[in-house]
């Protein structure tokens, strides 16, 4: 591994999961499906669903407060907010502004990033760039989605997958731990594989778009499965080759939690030992960009991570975007 004296590292982690649980048995009551069918195809048994008074921003606030507290700084020290979401509170303004107000953050830069399930990879890559360029001292990367608001519960093939939640990290310049390298990818030819057909300038909201349920996510599941297996694994391989590292040098692989079968297929194809892979999809489902920071927070609570551990993160999401990152853990 090639040394880098100037790194950006995670110094605080937080997550929030709504208390409401939607089980496979609950879905049996409204869909032509069974717990066995869902579990065998996805590995999911239950997922969290935000209440009517919970939004993408409110979940982000709770996750961010926990991350900022762990970082040991005041919210006002945050000078860059990178908010990754595909279910913003409003089309305008960016949800980063709402988060800044709720946290009392002033004089910070901020933006929303729409790369769906790849949000955390893109978010920490952006934070890394700002920090290394000397344009940010403390960057807050938060991934939050109320996917239940854009999920079609009449679509048996997709509604079984998604849950709500938020994860956040605080990053700053470090010297002995942090982001070692990352790979970002975009498969523009595949953009139609995951799409909300209406609500933008191409298909503005109308009586027809609402009637045809065009404001909900639509995904081509089999095609997305194949892309995820190929590109989530190859992105990790590409970085390891560049860094002259091997899979044996990795302590933990933390993939986006989209489907247990995808994760198992990646492990089989790329010869990754499953005991090195953290999986919590059974109880949370697919929480989009939040799945990786939520997983990291759970691993910290379970004391699975140690200082000096080498982590590999990987994801694929709408766009179609994909990415991976290698980090040296420092908390």
pLDDT of residue 6: 84
Q: How far is CA 112 from CA 102, 209, 277, in A?
A: 16, 25, 29
Q: What is the mean pLDDT of the chain?
A: 96
Q: Do 72 and 187 fall into the same domain?
A: no
Do 41 and 74 share a structural domain? yes
Q: Is 286 a catalytic residue?
A: yes
* Structure tokens given for 154: 């009449």
* Among 235, 230, 259, CA closest to 312: 235
187 shares a domain with 134: no
pLDDT tens profile 8-35: 999 999 999 999 999 999 999 999 999 9
- Which CATH number characterizes residue 161's domain? 3.40.47.10
Q: Quick check: is 1 in a domain? A: no
Q: Which of 84, 159, 256, 267 is catalytic?
A: 256
Which two structure tokens, joined as six digits, stand for 16?
């929030």
Q: What is the pTM of this model?
A: 0.96
Q: For residue 190, tell me if it sits in a domain.
A: yes
Domain boundary among 127, 147, 175: 175
Q: Note whether residue 303 is domain-resident.
A: yes
Whether 24 is catalytic? no
Domain shared by 186 and 171, yes or no: no
Catalytic position from the list 117, 143, 159, 267: 117
> CA nearest 12: which of 306, 300, 278?
300
Q: Does 105 lie in the same domain as 83?
A: yes
Same-domain check for residues 24 and 114: yes
Both 220 and 314 in one domain: the answer is yes
Cβ atoms 110, 83 nearer than 8 A? yes
pLDDT for res 5:
62
Q: Verify that 167 and 231 share a domain, yes or no.
A: no
Please answer whether residues 238 and 183 qualify as being in contact, where contact means their C-beta atoms are separated by less than 8 angstroms.
Answer: yes
- 3 — pLDDT class (breaks 50, 70, 90): very low
Parent domain of 142: 7-175
Residue 290 placed within a domain:
yes
Evaluate whether residue 2 is within a structural domain.
Answer: no
Spot the catalytic one: 159, 177, 267, 286.
Answer: 286
Given 155, 175, 195, which residue is the final one in a domain?
Answer: 175
Share of the chain above pLDDT 90, in %: 95
pLDDT at 1: 46
Is 117 among the catalytic positions? yes
Residue 116 has pLDDT above 80, yes or no: yes
Residue 51 within a domain: yes
Kindly state whether residue 13 falls inside one of the protein's structural domains.
yes
Same domain, residue pair 165 and 257: no
Among 159, 175, 191, the domain boundary falls at: 175
Render pLDDT for 154-185 as a digit per residue (tens, 0 to 9).
999 999 999 999 999 999 999 889 999 999 99
Q: Residue 160: its pLDDT value, please?
A: 97
Q: How many domains does the chain have?
A: 2
Based on the fold, state whether residues 192 and 171 are members of the same structural domain: no
CB 160 within 8 A of CB 38: yes
Q: Residue 237 has what DSSP assignment? A: H
Residues 144 and 158 in one domain: yes
* Residues 218 and 159 placed together within one structural domain of the fold: no
């Amino acid at each position: 591994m090639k040394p880098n004296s100037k790194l950006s590292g995670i110094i605080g982690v937080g997550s929030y999961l709504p208390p409401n649980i939607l089980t496979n048995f609950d879905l049996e009551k409204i869909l032509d499906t069974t717990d066995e069918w869902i579990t065998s195809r996805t590995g999911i048994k239950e997922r969290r669903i935000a209440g009517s008074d919970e939004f993408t921003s409110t979940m982000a606030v709770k996750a961010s407060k926990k991350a900022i507290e762990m970082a040991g700084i005041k919210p006002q020290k945050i000078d860059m907010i990178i908010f990754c979401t595909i279910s913003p509170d409003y089309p305008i303004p960016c949800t980063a502004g709402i988060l800044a107000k709720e946290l009392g953050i002033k004089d910070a830069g901020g933006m929303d990033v729409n790369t769906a399930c790849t949000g955390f990879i893109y978010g920490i890559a952006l934070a890394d760039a700002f920090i290394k360029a000397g344009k940010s001292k403390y960057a807050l990367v938060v991934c939050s989605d109320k996917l239940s608001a854009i999920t079609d519960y009449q679509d048996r093939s997709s509604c079984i997958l998604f849950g709500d939640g938020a994860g956040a990290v605080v990053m700053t310049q470090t010297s002995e731990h942090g982001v070692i390298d990352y790979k970002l990818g975009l498969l523009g030819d595949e953009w139609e594989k995951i799409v909300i057909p209406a609500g933008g300038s191409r298909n503005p909201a109308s009586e027809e778009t609402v009637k045809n349920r065009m404001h909900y996510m639509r995904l081509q599941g089999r095609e997305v499965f194949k892309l995820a297996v190929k590109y989530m694994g190859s992105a990790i391989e590409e970085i390891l080759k560049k860094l002259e590292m091997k899979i044996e040098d990795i302590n933990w692989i933390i993939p986006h939690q989209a489907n247990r079968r995808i994760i198992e297929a990646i492990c089989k194809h790329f010869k990754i030992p499953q005991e090195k892979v953290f999986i919590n999809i059974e109880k949370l489902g697919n929480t989009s960009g939040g799945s990786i920071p939520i997983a990291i927070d759970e691993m910290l609570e379970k004391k699975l991570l140690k200082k000096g551990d080498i982590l590999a993160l990987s994801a694929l999401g709408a766009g179609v975007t994909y990415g991976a990152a290698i980090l040296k853990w420092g908390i």
